[in-house]
Amino acid sequence: KNEVEQSPQNLTAQEGEFITINCSYSVGISALHWLQQHPGGGIVSLFMLSSGKKKHGRLIATINIQEKHSSLHITASHPRDSAVYICAVKGQGAQKLVFGQGTRLTINP
Amino acid sequence: SAVISQKPSRDICQRGTSLTIQCQVDSQVTMMFWYRQQPGQSLTLIATANQGSEATYESGFVIDKFPISRPNLTFSTLTVSNLSPEDSSIYLCSVESGGVETQYFGPGTRLLVL
């Protein structure tokens, strides 16, 4: 079993729909990151969470430390949101990130 | 924040040759990370590079195949040696910056080995 599991692996939705991507992890963590990777390969850091909830524009990220679970939500989705979304965690006392397999999101106009 | 640039952005190389990838950061950082992303896969850490010391390699990666230089706090290079088609991947440089451990990634170098 991977330390970081994401679901779904692939998600296709219509423009305007509310999107939820889930991330579960099995170890105690000091931080959880949500990353966005566009087809060209470059990665953008969306959020770093250690507790609670963060919001940036149409993106919302939540984390439940007790349940070892995080969600990334996109409101009013748009075709430009189409990308791979990656969850990554840093274990307590660790230097490196452990990555989920990613969720490929496609928003159709 | 940290802005990272990588060179080259992409390359096509012949089997048996080597490719050196450069990573430049616009601020001084202690730790730089090199990742590989094979087609359809997530990121795998190759090594951690600290300025002034030898890079620390992850299991499955060795210095002879992936030599790393870290001459100062803003620059690093990763060389992928003796290329084979299995080395075809995206290679990404990453740093941590800021007191809240925000992770920044370079735009990646897309390598195709023929």
pLDDT at B100: 55
Among chain B residues, CA nearest to A42 = B107
Residues B107, A100: C-beta atoms closer than 8 Å: no
End-to-end CA gap in chain B:
37
Which pLDDT band, with edges at 50, 70 and 90, does B41 fall under? Answer: confident
Distances (CA, A) of B18 to A80, B65, B80: 36, 9, 6
Instruction: Choose from A8-12, A96-100, B48-52 the range with maximum mean pLDDT.
Output: A8-12
The answer for B 73-112 residues in CB contact with A (under 8 A) is 90, 92, 94, 100-108, 110
Among chain B residues, CA nearest to A37 = B107
According to DSSP, residue B63 is labeled: T
pLDDT at B78: 97
> Closest approach of chain A CAs to the CA of B84, in angstroms?
21
Q: Which two tokens stand for residue B97?
A: 């910056």
Residue A14 has pLDDT above 60, yes or no: yes
Rg (CA), chain B: 13
Average pLDDT of the residues in B85-113: 87
Instruction: Quick: pLDDT tens for A29-69.
Output: 889 999 999 887 788 889 999 899 999 999 999 999 999 99
Tell me what the pLDDT averaged over chain B comes to: 92
Residue type, B52: G
pLDDT at B101: 64
Task: Give the whole-angstrom CA distance, residue B33 versus residue B47.
Answer: 6
pLDDT at B1: 76
Among chain B residues, CA nearest to A84 = B42
Out of B58, B100, B107, whose CB is closest to A42?
B107
Task: Check if B64 contacts A (Cβ < 8 Å).
Answer: no
SS3 state at B87: helix
pLDDT at B99: 58
Out of B48, B92, B108, whose CB is closest to A96?
B48
Average pLDDT of the residues in A3-22: 96
Task: Give the whole-angstrom CA distance, residue A70 versus residue A51.
Answer: 10
pLDDT at B8: 96
Instruction: Quick: pLDDT tens for A93-109.
Output: 877 889 999 999 999 99
Interface probe, candidates B7, B32, B42, B91, chain A, greatest A C-beta count within 10 A: B42
> Closest approach of chain B CAs to the CA of A85, in angstroms?
10
Instruction: Quick: pLDDT tens for B54-95.
Output: 899 999 999 999 999 999 999 999 999 999 999 999 999 999
User: Are the C-beta atoms of B62 and B69 separated by less than 8 Å?
Assistant: no
